Structure 1
Amino acid sequence: MSGTLQDRAMGAIMGAFVGEALGVGPHWYYDLKDLRRTFGGWIDDYTTPEPGRFHHGLKAGQNAQAGFILELMLRSLIERNGYDENDFCQRLDRELFPLLDGQPRSGPGHYTSESIRHAWHRRVVQNRPWHEIGGAADTTEAMERTLAIAVRHATEPALMSQAIANNTALTQSSETMLSMGVGYGCILARLVQGDILDERISQQPMNWIAEGALSFEPVTTRQPAPDHPELPLRARRHIVRDALHAASDIAAMARDPDVCIEPAWKVSHLYGMPCAFYHQLPTAYYLAARFHDDFEQAVLHAINGGGQNQSRAMLAGALVGAQVGLAGIPLRLLNGLERADELRQLACALSSQIPD
């Protein structure tokens, strides 16, 4: 475990960028025999996509669209000294949407996810306001950008939780998605503050719930949450308890000697290889708990599990990066990441703004 909050925060951000870039070449191979034929028995570094595959045109070490959007979020958080929804939306309008055409294989990274395509269509083609954009996608795109909110506001649970919920709702309006995104953010925030991903990881977030420290009522109730005037309260009810318990339960199983998943990448087959959050999050939690002190093993097992391995490695990379800190991410992975110095400067700037 890294000794400083700043190092852990930088580890979370850079861990996400590294994990996302590792997935550029081997993204979305559901036939693992095909994956092994193309990249060998074990992927251990950045790779270039094969012709005709997703992200074709990128090179090894480059980030795809999730990394592009994460960087937009980082720059907004840094320049506005915290989450500013209007600023972030303006950046999407100016810097992302003009690069899209509504088709899957378009835009930064040469692939645009369903939730972002849906948002582009409603915003650009239909000219709707941002509060009418969110759709029903059950994938993890919002978590891949709001992880930066969790890091920046790690010591401010009320602000963090509502900012994550509001930002998620921009593109994904499901209450379940909001709850799971807030749950992931709470877990990541605790890791940035120095906790380990084990069976106790949900204790402090559960205390936040009991103390009313979150900016909404996160239990099954018909009573509306109290207003927090400093933030737009778009979603008033979230069931976060189960999301938090799940992280603790999965972390406990990852450390239980009576539970054996070997090799560890097969956990993606246990929970499922597809894109939905209910496949992605359990696998990311498992790998980040099992390899809590070994960043490389966590992200490489995420990648070698196939399927939607890019998101899996990005989410796990943030969780493990927060536990090992920037100093615990192998230099070869940092050096192989394109624009690593620039991204590291952004991570440093963000971490320096986190209140004690």
Structure 2
Amino acid sequence: MISPSETKDRAVGSIMGAFIGDALALGPHWYYDLSELRRDYGDWIDGYTDPKPGRYHDGLKAGQLSQAGFILTLMLRSLVEAKGYNEKDFCRRMDQELFPLLDGTPVSGPGGYTSQSIRDAWGKRIQQDLPWGQTGGHADTTEAIERTLAIAVRYAFQPAQLAAAITDNTVLTQVDDTVVSMTVAFGALLGLLIQGNSMDADVSDKLMAQVKNGELPFHAVTGDNLQPPRPGDPDPPRAGRFASPDALLTPSFMAAAASDPDIRIEPAWKVSLVYGMPCAIYHQLPAAYYLSSLFHDDFESAVLHAVNGGGQNQVRAMLTGTLTGAQVGMSGIPKRFLEGLEKADELQHLAETLASHVVNG
């Protein structure tokens, strides 16, 4: 068990790591032609940059956040002021602070771009006047992870509450069970890292232990160590809604690949080519897991390789940033990333307040 001060350091590092990753990719976001990316930003992006004219986020400045960062801030404020996850409070903030700034088109709203799942929820709330709970769509992307990572930090030591709150919040915008299960799995992993665990080949065993004791809503298909069931064995206990625990097993496979001397992705930013550059959750999570394991003690390398891989590098950097920040702590994040981040003091204060709730319950 780590000390309360180290827990707080990891919790703050996780939140600030997400904000930093989001802002670092604001300029070079969504370049699928890597030669075009290198032409506009050089061979290696090592800090905050302005978006180029005519590109995504045009008009914003280096160090600012995208809409993902805006919504993560809403979530943080809700968790802090409501002293935990309160769906009614979060939805009120979305209705009052985000939706009035949108018009239903992609190139609109805070950050200059609104994702599909948020546009769908906006349409159902504003145009169809549907209640929250009937607003979820089928986008296979990571928007829910980008905001529920704060829930994972808040309930890092309470995995059952973590899973329930993340599930409830995810289905407000995305209802596909596979997406929901992968989102909950990411949060459960982040919670373990806040507790002091490492992003290594054993981490999935720890997640599966939480399944076996009924804390995570997955069920085990096989026996211990993935051994096949024997004739006459009873059906494994089913703790909840997710039919398969495979989303919990992915992190250890990525960590094993990162530590295997016979497996090398060189340079590491080419993880985007191995696992895929697009936005879907099944492209983004393996890359983030790999980078946050490979550079588990080197925040700068982790997030910069995530950014330099192109494609949907904003999510890749945001998720890598939160996982790596949870391992190195706030004390392990280079100060230059805070100095260039807009409203860094305000964001860090929010993160520290949330972290105090983690430590003190």
Structure 1 residues 219 and 179: alpha-carbon distance in aligned structure 2, compared to 1, 3 A threshold: farther
Cross-structure match for 1:277: 281
Tell me the SS of whatever aligns to 2:133.
helix
Gaps of 5+ in 2: 222-233
Q: Does 1:257 align with 2:299?
A: no
Cross-structure match for 2:339: 335
Cross-structure match for 2:120: 118
Tell me the SS of whatever aligns to 1:170.
coil
Structure 1 residues 296 and 239: alpha-carbon distance in aligned structure 2, compared to 1, 3 A threshold: farther
Paired with 2:199 and 2:357, the residues of 1 have a C-alpha distance of 24
Paired with 1:75 and 1:115, the residues of 2 have a C-alpha distance of 21
What per-residue deviation string (whole Å, max 9, x for no partner) do you get for residues 75-114 of structure 1? 0000011100111001000000000000000000000000
Tell me the SS of whatever aligns to 2:321.
helix
The one of 223, 238, 241 equivalent to 1:237 is 241
Paired with 2:202 and 2:237, the residues of 1 have a C-alpha distance of 29
Cross-structure match for 1:140: 142
What per-residue deviation string (whole Å, max 9, x for no partner) do you get for residues 150-202 of structure 1? 00000001100010011000000000011000100011000001011000111
Paired residue type of 1:165: T
TM-score (norm 2): 0.93
Paired with 1:176 and 1:222, the residues of 2 have a C-alpha distance of 22
Paired residue type of 1:153: Y
Tell me the SS of whatever aligns to 2:171.
helix
Q: Does 1:298 align with 2:302?
A: yes
Paired with 1:249 and 1:10, the residues of 2 have a C-alpha distance of 27
Cross-structure match for 1:82: 84
Q: Aligned-pair distance for 1:203?
A: 2.1
Q: Does 1:97 align with 2:94?
A: no
Tell me the SS of whatever aligns to 1:146.
helix
Tell me the SS of whatever aligns to 1:296.
helix
What per-residue deviation string (whole Å, max 9, x for no partner) do you get for residues 136-156 of structure 1? 000100000000000000000
Q: Which moved more, 1:14-23 or 1:3-12?
A: 3-12
Cross-structure match for 1:229: none
Contact map agreement 1:10 1:348 (CA 8 A) in 2: yes
Cross-structure match for 1:308: 312
Q: Aligned-pair distance for 1:240?
A: 5.4
Cross-structure match for 2:130: 128
Cross-structure match for 1:9: 11
What per-residue deviation string (whole Å, max 9, x for no partner) do you get for residues 287-335 of structure 1? 0000000000000000000000000000000000000000111100111
Paired with 2:149 and 2:274, the residues of 1 have a C-alpha distance of 25
Cross-structure match for 2:230: none
The one of 177, 180, 201 equivalent to 1:199 is 201
Paired with 1:203 and 1:82, the residues of 2 have a C-alpha distance of 28
Q: Aligned-pair distance for 1:239?
A: 3.8
Q: Aligned-pair distance for 1:224?
A: 11
Q: Aligned-pair distance for 1:61?
A: 0.3
Structure 1 residues 46 and 208: alpha-carbon distance in aligned structure 2, compared to 1, 3 A threshold: same
Structure 1 residues 322 and 60: alpha-carbon distance in aligned structure 2, compared to 1, 3 A threshold: same
Q: What is the alpha-carbon root mean square deviation over aligned residues? A: 1.8
Paired residue type of 1:101: D
Paired with 1:35 and 1:149, the residues of 2 have a C-alpha distance of 34
The one of 19, 25, 35 equivalent to 2:21 is 19
What percent of counterpart residues are identical?
60
Contact map agreement 2:220 2:238 (CA 8 A) in 1: no
What per-residue deviation string (whole Å, max 9, x for no partner) do you get for residues 205-226 of structure 1? 2111101123x35457999978
Structure 1 residues 339 and 287: alpha-carbon distance in aligned structure 2, compared to 1, 3 A threshold: same
